[in-house]
Every structure is written in structure tokens, then in C-alpha cells.
Amino acid sequence: MSEAAIRLASFSDSGSPLPDGRVSRYNRSNLCAENSMTELLLPLEDVLGLRDRGALCIDARSPAEYAEATIPGAINVPILDDAERIEIGTLYRQAGRQAARRRGVEIVAPKIPVLVEQIAAARPDGSPPAVVFCWRGGMRSRALTQVLELAGIPARQLAGGHKAFRSLVRSCFEQGAWGRLIVLRGLTGVGKTRLLQRLAADGYPVVDLEGLANHRGSAFGHLGLPAQPSQRMFEALLWDVLRQIPPGGYALAEGESRHIGRLVLPLTVYQALQSEVSLWVDAPLSRRVDNILTDYPARDSLREEFTQPIRALKGRLGRQKVDELLSLLQLGAWQELVRQLMLDYYDPLYRHTLPERRIEVLVDDEKTGLLHLKTAIAQVLGGAPGVEPAVNEAN
């Protein structure tokens, strides 16, 4: 057994004294290892500081746990895969802690060289010590951290594990301690997302809620996009963006309902989106249709996937109108289909969201519209939070 595997095995033995009160040489070594691990254990605040400086974050949990939610940017280097985790958990319940630990060593020891090489390849040269975490800062992250140290790769263990991080995320949304959110609103297809992307490229701070959610925020918003993250992962990603907005700063965002696909905005974030003067973006219908068609470049290959969302509109539009839309879909008459969806479904649905406190920005073309939008942003930022600008205000 390798030195690293022996050290892993030492985690499953107690440091109890001998009957005469003395501590054996083996247990003295084990106690030294315990003290060493204490030095490698870092609180969440310190870990986030390392992360901000470019430290590699390593999630030692199983692939299924990692897929549910992780610290944004972390890579998955599982000590146990999903089946092995179930096996160890079952053994723990049936035979006890010691048997489960021994079996864990048997499973993990042959993997050690591969785990070390995987992490060494992923860790940027000259970066701070790698940060290892599991669910509660227990055996999995503890073992991997010490293995990396033995292999000459600086590593630290996150105290409290992912559970501590999750608690921080929840606390962030409860407190709502971030800067102003200046919101772009407008009817479907005016190009809010594209305008935000252009503003971000020009150095404006932007929170891309739909990008984080992998959803365009409409009845067809999931088509052609990767699966949405879990609610917990969405919140982690959102936390990572909002924490970069200082209390005296601001960021631009797109106005959303609380639901983006199957994901739900934290209440404090949704409330923050309602508190400022809105930038209401308007555009001619023809431009809106073109924008929507640009958002779905693979629409012909997704034709069948459009069928069910259109049928789901029957309660609002009636059977006859839905049949007309389905006929246009089968003909591939995309421009007319989108135009009718705009006029008969989206515009009546969303026109009520026109806020009383707003600055209207007309976007006939993207270049001119972007200049108008930047002027409106400067106007909003020139006033106190929640106070309407004095000029260019819509009636």
C-alpha cells in the first residue's frame, strides 16, 4: 500500500491511549496527522479569498451530488462514484463506521495516482493552494486534501464543506446586500438580451439572469438550450454575480417574472428588480420578429419541439387560433408565425408590465438604440435610488 493510502487508512483508526495510559507510536503518528489536518482546514471566508485569487476548487463528492449543485467554477474529482457512495453508506448502516472506513480505503487507494494527476493537470501554475470540499467538510475532502499535500500539491480543506457554502448563499439572498439593479424591460423581441450583451462588451456591469438560468423566459424559452441548472445551482451562480456588485454600485439586468422556466428568482432579487426606474425598450414589430428568428437559428430542426408549447396556448388563444399557428409551423412560415404570436399572445400578455416609472428607449437599429440606452442609463444613475429622473420621462 502506498504512503498516501496508509495515511488514508489512518483516518479510520482512533487515537486512543494504550491501557497503561501511554500513546503508541502509531497513534502518536495519527495524532500528528490530526494536528496537521487542523492546519490545513480553512473557514469559508478564507477559502473564497483563495478562490478569488485563482485557486482551483475541487468538489470531492460523487458525480450526482456535484450535478445537483456546487461552488461555481469547481471541478469534480470524486473520491467515491455514485455506486460506491451508496455501497459505503449501506455498509455504514449495516456494519458500522469502522467497516465502512476500511472498505472506503480499499476502494480509494488504487485511485490515488489518477486523482492526483487529474488535479495536477487542472491546477494553474503558480496559483494558490487548491481548495477541497465535500458535503460537510468530512472524510472525503479531508482524505483528498492530505493526499494532495503528500503528493506535493498545496491544498486546503473547506471547513463545513458545501453545506457551509449553501448557508452563505441563503444568507446573501435573505439580506439582499448588493448594489442597484437597473432594469431593461420591453415587449418580447425588442432585443433586451442582445443589448445587455453589447453593454457588457462595452464594460457595463450586467447580470444575465436568462443566461444563468439557461432559459429565454418565455413559453418557448428552453428550446435549443442546454438543460436548466438545479434551483440550488442557479442560486449559487446568481450569488457569484451579485456579490460583485458593491452596495454603492450598480448592474444592469433584464426584467423578469419570478419564474424563469422552472427556476424561481429569490424574493429579494425579484423585489430589487422592481425598485428602480425602468428602461423601457421599444422597437418596430418587424425588428422584433427578426430578433426572435435570430434567437432560434436551429428552428427548422426544432420544429417538432415547438408543437407542444403552441398547443399549451389553447386555454388563452382558443383551439381555432392554435390550429392556425400549428399550420404555420408545419409550413415553416416562421416570420408569420412569430408575428401572430407577438400580436395575439405575447403583446397582450406582457403589455400590462409597462411600468409607470420608466424612461422609454426606441431601438430602430442597434447602434443608435445602444447610444440612446447609454444616455438613459446615465440619467437613471444620476438620480437617487428609487427616484424618477427629471427629464425624458414617459407620461
Question: Annotated catalytic sites, by residue?
Answer: 134
- In sequence order, what E strands does the chain have? 41-42, 57-59, 75-76, 130-133, 155-158, 180-186, 206-207, 250-254, 259-260, 263-264, 278-282, 358-362
- Compute the distance between CA of residue 310 and CA of residue 19 in angstroms, rounded to an integer: 77
Query: Edge to edge, what strands does the sheet with 41-42 contain?
Result: 41-42, 155-158, 130-133, 57-59, 75-76
Strands 180-186 and 155-158: unpaired
- Compute the distance between CA of residue 9 and CA of residue 220 in angstroms, rounded to an integer: 53
Q: Which residues are bridge partners to 280 per DSSP?
A: 185, 360
b/e 7-28 (16+ beta carbons within 10 angstroms → b) = bbbbbbeebeeeeeeeeeeebe
- Compute the distance between CA of residue 185 and CA of residue 373 in angstroms, rounded to an integer: 12
Candidates 69, 378, 373; CA nearest to 230 is 69
- Compute the distance between CA of residue 226 and CA of residue 356 in angstroms, rounded to an integer: 36
Helix residue ranges per DSSP H, 11-43: 25-40
- Compute the distance between CA of residue 222 and CA of residue 227 in angstroms, rounded to an integer: 8
Contacts of 361 (CB under 8 A, 6+ apart): 279, 280, 281, 282, 369, 372, 373, 376
- Compute the distance between CA of residue 213 and CA of residue 228 in angstroms, rounded to an integer: 6
- Compute the distance between CA of residue 91 and CA of residue 100 in angstroms, rounded to an integer: 5
Contacts of 231 (CB under 8 A, 6+ apart): 263, 264
Q: Which residues are bridge partners to 281 per DSSP?
A: 186, 361
